[in-house]
């Protein structure tokens, strides 16, 4: 496995399901907590964050997540967070990432929408120049804040329309947050050329995925692991090519799945459903995209060629243009060819 881990570390990759605030490293979280000491429950000691990021259930995860959101209080915080995420992704040989942003959480705390978008766009350009990683944005509705948050998210998306914005999403808890109430927002976003990528079927059943498909026009599904319980849905996903953005460690850490051994990823793949492997909120879940690829390789019994095909699948499912996709696919193919040539030479 060590050899495969080394292969994964050097593999050019795309990350399609990773959250902005949820990617704040312990160092950044601790610095922000110290800056706002006395007004936050988040520990200012990085060593204490592992315990703070131990979740009893999905609702507790949302509570902790929102406490970290509350640490992002001005455009400088936003810029630093965005740039540092890009730096860390580049360190894992991620060439491209679609980062899920929740502008509502910042706008409602008093940061102007224009300043928010200016900060993330400037960080995106700097990260590309400094680290060779391309970022694009998914603006997502925090479902727990209801329709008013969807109104704001859509307004920011359509009025500001930052260059990196490619998709429109829906996150937060699924229980008690019906997907159909957001249908008008997704319809307007799609009409404006944004792709639909809502979360569904993570902590609820297959019906949430059906709602995302039927009411929100989903082109990819965030998580979607509950599809494994519904043979008709599995067939529909397979036949339509709808991609599930699977985040194995996240599902275990939020208690949506009892253990990695019981994760439905193998069943989804066996049913012919297209999947990508992603990290979701990596520091909160003590993981990385590289680790998630290693987890997937173990669950699916993959060798280097199989892992490279996972990476290709993420590129194909991305919202990159065709030229950029071809370039990144070529990088993956070249990397695998060099690896296999070296492996054969060593035998």
DSSP 8-state code for residue 242: P
Round to whole Å and give the CA distance between 297 and 308: 10
Give the contacts of 42 (CB within 8 A, at least 6 positions apart): 29, 32, 33, 49, 52, 67, 68, 71
- Nearest Cα residue to 2 out of 309, 298, 305: 298
Round to whole Å and give the CA distance between 304 and 91: 20
Task: List the end-to-end C-alpha distance of the chain, in Å, as a whole number.
Answer: 17
Cα–Cα distance list, 289 to 114, 157, 249 (Å): 31, 27, 10
Residue 295: alpha-carbon gap to chain centroid = 16
* 3-state helix, strand and coil shares in percent for the chain, rounded to the nearest 5: 60, 15, 30
CA angle 291, 21, 84 (to 5 degrees): 70
Residue tagged active-site, from 202, 219, 245, 292: 202
Give the torsion through C-alpha atoms of 204, 209, 211, 214, to 10 deg: 180
Round to whole Å and give the CA distance between 270 and 255: 23
- Nearest Cα residue to 167 out of 280, 310, 17: 17
Round to whole Å and give the CA distance between 290 and 96: 14
Round to whole Å and give the CA distance between 14 and 222: 15
Structure tokens at 255: 């208690």
Q: Is 202 a catalytic residue?
A: yes
Active site residues: 202
């Amino acid at each position: 496995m060590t050899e495969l881990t080394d292969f994964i570390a050097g593999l050019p990759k795309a990350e399609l399901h990773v959250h902005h605030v949820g990617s704040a490293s312990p160092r950044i979280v601790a610095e922000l907590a110290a800056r706002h000491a006395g007004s936050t429950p988040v520990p200012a000691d990085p060593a204490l964050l592992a315990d703070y990021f131990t979740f009893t259930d999905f609702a507790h995860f949302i509570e902790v997540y929102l406490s970290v959101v509350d640490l992002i209080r001005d455009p400088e915080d936003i810029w630093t967070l965005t740039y540092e995420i890009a730096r860390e992704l580049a360190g894992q040989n991620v060439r491209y990432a679609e980062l899920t942003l929740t502008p509502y959480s910042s706008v409602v705390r008093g940061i102007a929408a224009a300043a928010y978008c200016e900060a993330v766009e400037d960080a995106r350009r700097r990260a590309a120049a400094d680290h060779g990683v391309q970022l694009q944005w998914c603006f997502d509705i925090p479902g727990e804040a209801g329709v008013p948050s969807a109104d704001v998210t859509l307004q920011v998306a359509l009025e500001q329309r930052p260059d990196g914005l490619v998709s429109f999403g829906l996150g937060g808890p699924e229980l008690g947050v019906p997907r159909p109430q957001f249908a008008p927002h997704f319809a307007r976003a799609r009409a404006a050329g944004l792709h639909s990528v809502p979360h569904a079927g993570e902590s609820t059943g297959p019906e949430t995925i059906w709602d995302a498909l039927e009411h929100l026009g989903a082109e990819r599904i965030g998580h979607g692991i509950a599809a494994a319980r519904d043979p008709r849905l599995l067939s529909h996903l397979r036949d339509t090519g709808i991609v599930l953005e699977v985040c194995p460690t996240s599902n275990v850490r939020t208690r949506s799945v009892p253990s990695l051994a019981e994760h439905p990823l193998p069943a989804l793949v066996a049913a012919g459903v297209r999947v990508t492997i992603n990290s979701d909120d990596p520091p909160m879940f003590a993981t990385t995209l590289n680790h998630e690829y290693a987890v997937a390789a173990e669950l699916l019994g993959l060798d280097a060629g199989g892992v490279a095909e996972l990476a290709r699948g993420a590129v194909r499912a991305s919202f990159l243009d065709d030229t950029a996709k071809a370039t990144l696919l070529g990088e993956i193919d070249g990397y695998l060819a060099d690896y296999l040539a070296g492996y054969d030479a060593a035998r």
